[in-house]
Every structure is written in structure tokens, then in C-alpha cells.
Amino acid sequence: MRKIPEPGPTLLSRKYSVTMNRKSLSPPREVILRNVVNKDALLCSLSERIDKEVIEKAGPKLKVISTLSTGYDHIDVKEAKKRGIHVTFTGEVLSEATADLTFALILAISRKVVLADNYIRQKKWKVGWSPDLFLGSNVYGKTLGLIGAGRIGRAVARRAKGFDMNVIYHNRRRLETKLEQEIGAKYVELDTLLRESDYLSIHANLNAESTDMMNESKLKRMKNTAFLINTSRGQVIDERSLVKALRKKWIAGAALDVFESEPLETNSPLIKMENLVLLPHIGSATYQVRSKMSEIAAQNIIELLSGRKTPFMVR
Ligand code: DGY
């Protein structure tokens, strides 16, 4: 495993002999392939692709693959299951923190927070208050469209109440009426969501259906004053289409915490665009959440290697 926040490493080292990359960087692929051989458990993160090759290399002793993440699209779950290997995740501990960051992005893109901050740092603020300096868009009273109404989507909807937003959502399965009422969100077809949202925020899992879901045709259906927010997985948006949409002003801007390829290529056209806020995948990055994720990821291994159960199994 790579170096992760405490208490996971200590919990594991007390019981087992642990091979850990001392740096918090992902180990190179060849190091993973070398070190996974004959291990009973593998603790990984979403930056490491745990595919058939890694699983095969580990050999028959491998019983658990525990990821320090809620998403597990980087693991070949089918291959693991075929070999009787348990795959675990960190559950929903990051939902509220990710919803907080979604709102940070909504506010940052609508009110040009990052551009305005840079303006002062670059010593460009020469006159005081000015009537047309960094004019942005209202958040209060606007329509927020959610693609995905799992825990994170619902946590975002609850925050939107405080901004008196009109919340609409689209999900594979419609929520129960009671839950809809509790979060104050109305179910609509995807096409309506695209057409009516002032802020469209994605909270979908990555799978075959959601990959490249936000393509040219969908971006074209959005309002040209709308903002696209993504804190889920980068592959849900076709980035080439997004660049086109931003250049051609089909939409007003986007705020992204996740990208098709991470880290974002330094020559990505996104970096030069002004109507964007870019964050380096920090949705769950609070001390409290990362420490809880570390504890759960380690505990998942301990429970399963001890023949007990954990509620955080990937089914
Ligand atoms: C996850 O856990 O899936 C997030 O993307 C990173 O914490």
C-alpha cells in the first residue's frame, strides 16, 4: 500500500507485517506487481489500477482487496470475486464533505472567487470598490439539477435548501416520496434536467452507462448561462466536448474536482480557460474524513482476515 493517513497504518502494523510505500505517492506499477506477490491483503487507493494482472500476480493467498475510497471503479471486482477475494470500500463517510466541496465549487464558479483572489495576488486591484468588478451569477433562488441522488446528491440537495434553490434531480431509480420531500427535490427526466438547470451537478457512479454521459449532445441542451459541476468521476464527462462547449459558450462555465485522467495533463486546454474552476480531486479531503476512511480501510482487512464480517463489502 501507499502511505495513507493514520490510524490505518498503525492498526495494520500492530497485527501484520505490512509492506508500505513510505511516500504518499502511488507506487509505480512494477512495484505493485512485485510487492503484491503472496500477500493476504491489498490496501489500495483509486489511483492504482487493480486489474487481472495485479490479482493474478498476488497469487492464491490474496483474500482481501480494500480500497481507501468510496468508488471502486479502479478494481476488477468481477475478477476478484471469481477467485473468492473480498473487495471492500469505505462506505459513505465522505458524503457530507463531498457535498460541502460541491457547494464550494458552485459558489466559486458563480461568484468568480478564484479569479478575484488571483486578481489581488497579481496586484491588479488598483481602484477600490467598483460597480462592475467581477460580476457573477446568483446562486440564491436558482435551479440546481442533480444527476444522481445517492447520499452525496441528497446531501447537496439539503444544502441547497439554505440557498432557497429549486432542486430537481434525475436518478436511475426515483426516490421515495418521503425522501423527495425531506430533501426538497423534484424528480424530472434527464432532458428536462439539462434544459432547466442553472447549476448541474453530477453525483453518479462510474459505470458503462455513465461513462462519457455528458457528451456534446447533452451539453448543447443545457442553458448557455448554466454551470456544470463535477465531484464524481472525470470519465462521466467527455472532456473534449466540454472544452468545445466552453469555447463555443454553449454553457457559461464548469467547476471540476475530477478529470478523465489524473493528474490533469499540464497541456490540457482546460488549464487556460477562465470560465472554469479546477481542483485536484479533493472532495473527501478533510482531516476527519480521511482519518475515518483510513480506519475503515484497515479495519475491513482486519475483520475479514480474522474470519469476521464488515458492512463495507462490494457486492
Ligand atoms: C472516493 O473515495 O471515491 C473519492 O473519489 C476520493 O475520496
pLDDT of 49: 97
Q: What is the dihedral of CA 54, 58, 60, 65, to 10 degrees?
A: -70
The answer to whether position 312 is within a domain reads no
* Side chain identity at residue 283, one-letter code: G
Q: Tell me the pairing of strands 227-230 and 253-256.
A: parallel
CATH code assigned at 27: 3.40.50.720
Same domain assignment for residues 70 and 131: no
Q: Which three cell numbers stand for residue 221?
A: 441542451
Domains: count for the chain: 2
**Domain that residue 191 falls in:** 95-278
Task: Answer yes or no: do 42 and 183 share one domain.
Answer: no
Position 12 in a domain: yes
Decide if 233 is catalytic.
Answer: yes
Mean pLDDT score, 77-102: 98
CB 218 within 8 A of CB 246: no
The alpha carbon of 184 and the centre of ligand 1 are apart by a number of angstroms equal to 26
Q: Which of 203, 233, 290, 303 is catalytic?
A: 233
Q: What is the pLDDT of residue 200?
A: 99
What is the 194 CA–ligand 1 centroid distance (Å)? 25
pLDDT band per the 50, 70, 90 thresholds, residue 23 = confident
What pLDDT, on the 0 to 100 scale, is given for residue 3?
85
163 and 290 both lie in a single domain: no
Quick one: pLDDT at residue 251?
Answer: 98
* Residue 271 counted as domain residue: yes
Local confidence band at 58 (pLDDT 50, 70, 90 cut-offs): very high
230 lines ligand 1 (CB under 6 A): no
Residue-level pLDDT at 21: 85
Instruction: Judge whether 313 lies within some domain.
Output: no
Check whether residue 130 and residue 88 sit in a common domain. Answer: no
CB 4 within 8 A of CB 26: no
Tell me the average pLDDT of the chain. 97
What was the pLDDT predicted at 84?
A: 97
One domain for residues 224 and 75: no
283: Cβ below 6 Å to ligand 1?
yes
The answer to whether residue 313 scores a pLDDT higher than 80 is yes
Neighbours of 290 (CB within 10 A): 20
* pLDDT of 24 over the 80 cut: no
Q: Is 49 a catalytic residue?
A: no
Is residue 25 pLDDT above 90, yes or no? no
Banded model confidence at residue 12, pLDDT cuts 50, 70, 90: very high
* 235 against 25, higher pLDDT: 235
The lowest-confidence range among 24-33, 161-170, 231-240, 252-261 is 24-33
Q: In this structure, what DSSP letter does residue 28 have?
A: P
Cell of 263: 493528474
Ligand 1 centroid, distance to 260 Cα (angstroms): 14
How far apart are alpha carbons 87 and 300 in whole angstroms? 9
Residues contacting residue 299 through CB under 8 Å, at least 6 positions apart: 11, 310
Q: Are residues 218 and 110 in the same domain?
A: yes
Q: Strand, coil or helix: what is 266?
A: coil
130 shares its domain with 258 = yes
pLDDT at 89: 98
19-33, 106-120, 180-194, 256-270: lowest mean pLDDT where? 19-33
Query: CA 162 to CA 158: how far, in whole Å?
Result: 8
* pLDDT for position 194: 98
What is the residue type of 11? L
User: What is the structure's pLDDT at 26?
Assistant: 87
pLDDT of residue 2 exceeding 90, the answer is no
Domain identity same for 99 and 88: no
Percent of the chain whose pLDDT exceeds 70: 100
- 311 occurs within a structural domain: no
Nearest CA to ligand 1 atom 2: 69
pLDDT of residue 266: 96
Burial 210-219 (b: 16+ CB within 10 A, else e): beebbeeebb
Q: Do residues 111 and 86 both lie within one domain?
A: no
Say if residue 89 is in the same domain as residue 104: no
Domain-embedded: residue 2: no
Any ligand 1 atom below 6 A from CB of 150: no
In a domain, 44, yes or no: yes
Same domain for 105 and 57: no
Predicted pLDDT of residue 253: 98
Query: Which cell numbers hold the place of 99?
Result: 457535498
- Asked, for residue 108, whether it belongs to a domain, the answer is yes
Q: Are residues 103 and 220 in the same domain?
A: yes
